Chains A and B, each alone.
Chain A
């Protein structure tokens, strides 16, 4: 293994000093201008990557469904996925075909949108992943998205393989084993295609895995590079090009020295969230999970690079910068939430727009970070939080409150936000028309008691008992419209349960999201007024998307099927039965 690893890194080095430009590849569409809201190129009506664009906007230029017409929206057709677990992710539409993948056993469907009677299944692919992966998944046997590139549907299987399926025929093209499910590693994240590579990462921050992010060749599935989250600089892929803004992150081998001996190898930091890409910097941005175990007394040190945001060169995997959102995390505040790529006027009056990423973290701070160097320009609370007072922008470190730290065999009461975070992985949407970010957030607090835990490979390396309580105000969720320049909430719609679905913004100034009870809602993007709502057959934890079908009409699609971490509320009034259905809506 050492040989293979060494050869792989040697081969991918660039001895002649020339950086390879990424060109071509049908997956990299011309991204809309990130500079300003106006002058977007006309929408092609497809949805070829999970967030519509690799910058993570989840914004569609289609305006047939708008604030006036959306009240007439009705279900055009539906499709049962045949599984009953949590349905996350958004269907893709490439050309006239829709692609979706079910939770375990990760069956893939291609639906021909050009057929006269819907749904018309073009093909079905059953990968038969190993059953033993089911018992290693902390948070339901979900799949959070899938990717399309080069005529192939590419996605991750729960048993830690990445598979590519021929989009025309539904036959397997390649399948690459990426990690060892016997050690507790699974894969659930949505791959991102950048040029000729597909970026994937593992899951298992509760199982003591060694977190990593890797790039596979789209054509063959061969691993091009793998960057671990902890370990020596060579494992984490840091070299002289690593230029983090904060002094404390510039020491060598921080992925080892900030851990007790050997603990970094089971330190978690799984990269199970979203990856976004900036073509101007040629960088991918992603976050890493909590450190293992949750019992912080067993891993003194800052625990780099867990609970952090990293920027890497997608061709070589070498890191450009890093920023740790929650050093020495004691509360399960993963850093995996999406980093939306934007240019914002946060540089001061008369200054050009600053290239930033905006990141709503689990820890209830929303960060605006200069994406060239990882410098935090602002860190603002967006939900109730009491684990820290503020973030020191000079050092990047949060000012942690001593009374909200967590300890072994002692209860710490009423920590906000709870371990699920003020916002979990369901992604935000950005509207270049309203200049607002629409974020699905949660308002939960917790009591936390850490417990001693042994590392037994394949069993949880967790070590904590928690009790969840509702946060201040009594509502457990809120769909926020957030102005990242003014750093404030513009409007919010509260919900009884946490808002745990993705969000869609459209040029019709309509924002779509779903609730745990199963209500698929359309809000006015500028005011938050409820324009339309439909109760679906099960709860909604997936991401809505919209497309233009071959018949020329605009359709909105969303998966229903409750599960995921919302299973915490099972048994409560209003919690729906399980389901697994794709719902597609259109105007009559």
Chain B
């Protein structure tokens, strides 16, 4: 049984939600329209070429230019012959059409499209030389998100000039509407590519390099993205979402993310937390506010606030969470999360605990 990843949010490049995607969309429109027109013209020309008959009374001699000076029959001048008089009229016409329609016209059209392309590239790219080291402090007022591509999930870190205000989440970016956010892209292992079509073009995450792109959403919404560079067996299930929210709601979300997990309120919740910490989960995962500080898997501190599980593979609902914890290899075989041995009671406790992490 193949588990198809779910689709949360829009993922169509034809529905741009931000200036960068709009620039790409506009360029696409220009190319589509001009391409369509040219294709139609070419087809019309092709059809004409297929069915056009020669004019009645066409003779090869009539096709040649007139021998006004009688050189063709003048043996004494050395006999230039028919070949020397000049190229046939049809040949000259044909050459003219080819040069005009095949070289000059495309050059002009492509040159115009090139100009539009360069303008679009400038619109979607950050100024060259922008990319610092991945952990360089953001400029005052700059919102910087560092995304690390790992097989097969996205580590998302919100940087801050004050280290204690940094926070980490996974597989989900939230940005304020209307504000340009700098996303720094690094990879932990192989080449991935970050692509959220409704907001921006693709940008690779290359090991050993820091790339950067600007994200700007002009309307609120949920925008799905996915890995766009084959990175291994579960490349197809390495998706993420970008959620654009009004600035006030974004700030509230960020403030909550900065805090650690809530302290347990009662003994049942305490037992759930203990089950989580005593299991192998804490070897790989972190929950801020507890002693779990694994660095190998996604940060789970506010797991319940996320829209999806397992990098866009499953909806974030209790049943799916149980299934994922119990046997991740059945859902995403080849992913790095092993099926740890858990009793039924521990599984319930851990899933309850994680579902409570809001």
Tell me the smallest distance from the CB of B190 to a CB of chain A, in Å: 15
**Bitwise interface map of A from 450 to 493 toward B, beta carbon under 8 Å scored 1, else 0:** 00111111000000000000000000000000000000000000
A257 touching B162, Cβ below 8 Å:
yes
Stretch from B48-56, B61-69, B282-290 that touches the partner:
B282-290
Asked if A297 is at the interface (CB within 8 A of a chain B CB), the reply is yes
Q: Which of B164, B166, B167, B294 contacts A454 (CB 8 A)?
A: B294
Could you tell me if B164 and A455 are in contact, using CB atoms closer than 8 angstroms?
no
Complex interface bits, A288-305 against B, C-beta within 8 A gives 1, otherwise 0: 000000000111110000
Residue from B165, B166, B289 having most chain A Cβ neighbours under 10 A = B166
- A262 proximal to B (CB < 8 A): yes
Taking A300-B135, A300-B163, A456-B282 as contacts, is the C-beta distance between A261 and B260 under 8 angstroms? yes
Indicate whether B343 reaches chain A with its CB closer than 8 angstroms.
Answer: no
Q: Looking at the assembled complex, report how far the CB atom of A268 sits from the nearest CB atom of chain B, in whole angstroms.
A: 14
- Residue interface bits B286-303, CB-to-A below 8 A is 1, else 0: 001101011110000000
B179 contacts the other chain (Cβ, under 8 Å)? no
Check A260–B293 contact: CB distance below 8 A.
no
State whether B293 touches A261 (Cβ < 8 A).
no
B336 within 8 A of A: no
Q: Which residue of B lies closest to A453 (CB)?
A: B295
Contact across chains for B260 and A454 when beta carbons are under 8 A apart: no
Residue B293 contacts which of A259, A297, A452, A455 (CB distance < 8 angstroms)? A455
Query: Is A258 located at the chain interface by the 8 A CB criterion?
Result: yes
Bound CA span A300–B260, Å: 18
Give every chain A residue within 8 A of B291 (Cβ-Cβ): 455, 457
Please, what's the 1-or-0 string for B309-350, where 1 marks a CB less than 8 Å from any CB in chain A?
000000000000000000000000000000000000000000
Size bin of chain B's contact surface: 10 to 19
Choice from B135, B166, B295 contacting A261 with Cβ under 8 Å: B166
The interface bits of chain A over 83-95 (1 if a CB of B lies within 8 angstroms of the residue's CB, else 0) are 0000000000000
Do A261 and B294 touch (CB < 8 A)?
Answer: no
Asked if B164 and A257 make an inter-chain contact with CB atoms under 8 angstroms apart, the answer reads yes
Q: A262-B288, A300-B135 are in contact. Are A452 and B164 (CB under 8 A)?
A: no
The contact string, 1 if C-beta is below 8 Å from chain B, for chain A 419-459, is 00000000000000000000000000000000011111100
- B164 lies within 8 A of A259 (CB): yes
In the complex the two chains form, what is the Cα distance from A220 to B154 in whole Å? 55
A260–B295 alpha-carbon span in the complex (Å): 14
Q: Does A256 contact B (CB under 8 A)?
A: yes
Interface centre among A298, A301, A456 (most CB of B within 10 A): A456
User: How many chain A residues touch B (Cβ–Cβ < 8 Å)?
Assistant: 19
In the bound complex, residues from chain B placing their C-beta under 8 Å from that of A453 are 295
Please determine whether B283 and A261 come into contact, CB atoms closer than 8 angstroms.
no
| Per-residue interface assignment for chain A, residues 238 to 275, with 1 indicating a CB less than 8 Å from any chain B CB and 0 otherwise | 00000000000000000011111110001000000000
The distance in angstroms between the C-alpha atoms of A248 and B222, with both chains bound, is 43
How far is A331 from B41 in the complex, measured between Cα atoms in Å? Answer: 70
Contact A256–B164 (Cβ < 8 Å): yes
Tell me whether A454 and B163 are in contact in the complex, defined as CB-CB below 8 angstroms, given that A261-B288, A300-B135 are known contacts: no
Question: Contact: A456 with B294, CB < 8 Å?
Answer: yes
**B258 interfacial contact with A, CB 8 Å:** yes
Quote the shortest CB–CB distance from A412 to chain B (angstroms).
Answer: 14
Q: Do A257 and B295 form a contact, CB below 8 Å, given A454-B283, A456-B282?
A: no
> B283–A262 contact, CB under 8 A?
no
A300 to B166 Cα, complex, angstroms: 10
Specify which chain B residues have a CB less than 8 angstroms from the CB of A261 in the assembled complex.
164-167, 258, 260, 288
Residues of A within 8 A of B164 (CB): 256-261, 301
Cβ-closest chain A residue relative to B207: A409
Cβ distance B286 to chain A, nearest Cβ, rounded Å: 8
A303 to chain B: closest residue by CB: B163
Q: Which of B259-310 contact A (CB under 8 A)?
A: 260, 282-284, 288-289, 291, 293-296
Central interface residue in A299, A300, A452, by most chain B CB within 10 Å: A300
The one of B165, B260, B289, B294 in contact with A455, judged by C-beta atoms closer than 8 angstroms, is B294
Assembly CA distance A297 to B291 (angstroms): 20
Residues in chain A near residue B258, CB distance under 8 A: 261
Q: Point out the residues of chain A lying under 8 angstroms from B163, CB to CB.
A: 257-260, 299-301
Chain A residues, Cβ within 8 Å of B294: 454-456
Contact B166 A260 (CB under 8 A): yes
Q: Give the complex CA separation of A258 and B135 in angstroms.
A: 15
Which residues from chain B contact A454 at a C-beta distance below 8 Å?
A: 283-284, 293-296
Complex contacts, B293 vs chain A, CB 8 Å: 262, 266, 454-456
| A262→B289 CA distance, assembly (Å) | 7
Q: Decide if A452 touches B166 in the complex (CB within 8 Å).
A: no
In the assembly, what is the distance between CA of A453 and CA of B258, in Å? Answer: 22
Provide a sorted-by-A list of 20 A–B residue pairs whose CB atoms are within 8 angstroms.
A257-B163, A258-B163, A259-B163, A260-B166, A261-B260, A261-B288, A266-B293, A298-B295, A300-B135, A300-B166, A301-B164, A452-B295, A454-B283, A454-B293, A454-B294, A454-B296, A455-B291, A455-B294, A456-B282, A456-B283
Q: Which 3 A-B pairs have the closest CB atoms?
A: A301-B163, A455-B293, A454-B295
Given contacts A257-B164, A456-B294, 10 further A-B contacts (CB under 8 A): A256-B164, A257-B162, A258-B163, A260-B163, A260-B164, A261-B166, A261-B258, A454-B283, A455-B294, A457-B291
